[in-house]
A and B are shown apart, each in its own frame.
Chain A
Amino acid sequence: MDKTISTVAEAIAEIPDGAQVMIGGFGGSGAPIELIHALIDRFRETGSPKNLTVINNNAGNGGIGIAAMIKAGMVAKMICSFPRSSNAEAFNEKYLAGEIELELVPQGTLAERIRAAGAGIPAFYTPSSFGTELAIGKPTEEFDGKMYVRERCLKADFALIKGQMGDTVGNLTYRLAGRNFNPLMAMAATKTIAQVSELVAPGGINPEQVITPGLFVDVVVEVAHPQQEEVLVRTGVVH
């Protein structure tokens, strides 16, 4: 069951207009920059995909990655916890102009909604956001004397994630704190596309070290020596 594809352009070729797309990473850590840039390149050549809903903790930084997607006009809606950051002009301008929709979700709730989708749990209760404006319109219930908010799971059509090692059947490891949302998103999308820094044959990853089992991954593409978002932002690179 070889899940590898040889180029990032082929890996993202099927993502249609209007798709809901999860993108792994927290800031620049674990962000699949090459997959994102391949998607932007395709949009610039063909006008598609557009009207995307993007799910990420943030809303892009500088002139690369998700910020470049937003600036290019591919994104209709962001679902995230922290769109405000030091270099988030791309999102800020569109948001303040009313040109992009925002669903703001507390970070732990965002993670759990994604995990729940991957685990077949349609809704759950959390104490987070109870009594705040982010809970308006959501059902609440008391358990053991404490109030909780009901949250729905969050699925996606596609997940773009970044692993460190990957084998041809989709088993993944992650580098340092680059794990973050990546293993959760791998579980929650209909089709999960992973870029990996080092592609190996089955058996090349010790089964004890596998973080995301290959069952959750549909496509693996090797990007050796991937770019790091934070380094690109700090050096002023624009895609």
Chain B
Amino acid sequence: MSDFNISDVALSNAQIAWRAAQDIEDGSYVNLGIGFPEMIAKFQPEGRDVTYHTENGVLGFGKAPLEGEEDWDLINAGKKAITLNPGASFFHHADSFAMVRGGHLDLAVLGAYQIAQNGDLANWRVGSKGVPAVGGAMDLVHGAKRVAVVTDHVTKDGKPKLVEACTFPLTGVACVTRVYTSLAVVDIEDGKFILREKVPGMTLAQLQAVTGATLHVDGDVADLNVPEDL
């Protein structure tokens, strides 16, 4: 175990996004946070009809336009140019966040600096330095039927991101329901991390050693299998 190297078994961001995409249900309304979570749309399983919401007032947007064909009045919350799918709609910002807080979205997926075992999320600033910016993160964690996180299992310097209690400033309290990491799929239930899947090639003890809070097992732990070539 001493020569065990996480990087040998850890999933790439694309593989994490692929795994998260498998859980997006047919017919659902989904908000993908700016950055890494946006990648999930690329891996939406075929045959599922998913409508994507973006905070600045668009439902039903599609792929990015070709370079040179952008219309900069048609952007997503990350200020990237988008296109519209048939059936898309526009609305103002208060309606957009009514969709969020009012429980009308089926799923919101965000990034994370830390996730605590009770579902607390820290994802908007690391300390008190620099220019703070919160955007829609504090709203998106409330109201969606499921709030999921995609993240590396540990920080770049190897510290656990799944912790007993967040040390970074909170985005929301007890809001996350499922975490997709580079090593595992973990649910949050009754203030506990419940391990659902882990990468093959890693023991439970090895996974626990890089997790900052107890991983509980409730039934089978499946292998976290993803396409190799992502």
Contact = CB atoms under 8 A, between A and B. Distances in A.
B132 A104 contact: yes
B170 A131 contact: yes
Contact of B93 (A105, A129, A175, A181): A181
A85 interface: yes
Interface residues of B, number: 38
A177 B73 contact: yes
Interface string A55-72: 001000000000000000
Contacts of A112: 94, 97
Contacts of A231: 72
Nearest to B99: A108
B7 to A, nearest CB: 30
Interface in B76-94: 77, 79, 90-94
Nearest to A178: B73
B138 A106 contact: yes
Nearest to A95: B131
A218 B137 CA distance: 34
A219 to B, nearest CB: 20
A111 B93 contact: yes
A109 B139 contact: yes
Interface string A222-233: 000000111100
Given A131-B173, A177-B57, A179-B57, A83 B139 contact: no
A103 B134 CA distance: 11
Interface stretch (A4-12, A24-32, A38-46): A24-32
A179 B90 contact: yes
Interface string A164-188: 0000000000111111111110000
A164 B178 CA distance: 42
B72 A111 contact: no
A174 B91 CA distance: 10
Question: Which one of B73, B79, B130, B170 has the highest number of Cβ atoms from chain A below 10 Å of its Cβ?
Answer: B73
Interface size class of A (residues with CB under 8 A): 35 or more
A190 interface: no
A107 B136 contact: yes
A81 interface: yes
B56 interface: yes
A79 to B, nearest CB: 13
A182 B170 CA distance: 30
A109 to B, nearest CB: 7
A81 B96 CA distance: 15
A104 B132 CA distance: 8
B92 A128 contact: no
15 contacts: A27-B75, A81-B133, A84-B130, A84-B132, A106-B136, A106-B137, A107-B139, A108-B136, A128-B139, A132-B138, A176-B71, A177-B57, A177-B90, A181-B92, A184-B94
Interface of B: 55-58, 71-75, 77, 79, 90-94, 96-97, 100-101, 120, 130-139, 142-143, 169-173
Interface of A: 26-30, 57, 81-85, 88, 91-92, 95-96, 102, 104-112, 114-115, 126-134, 147, 174-184, 211, 228-231
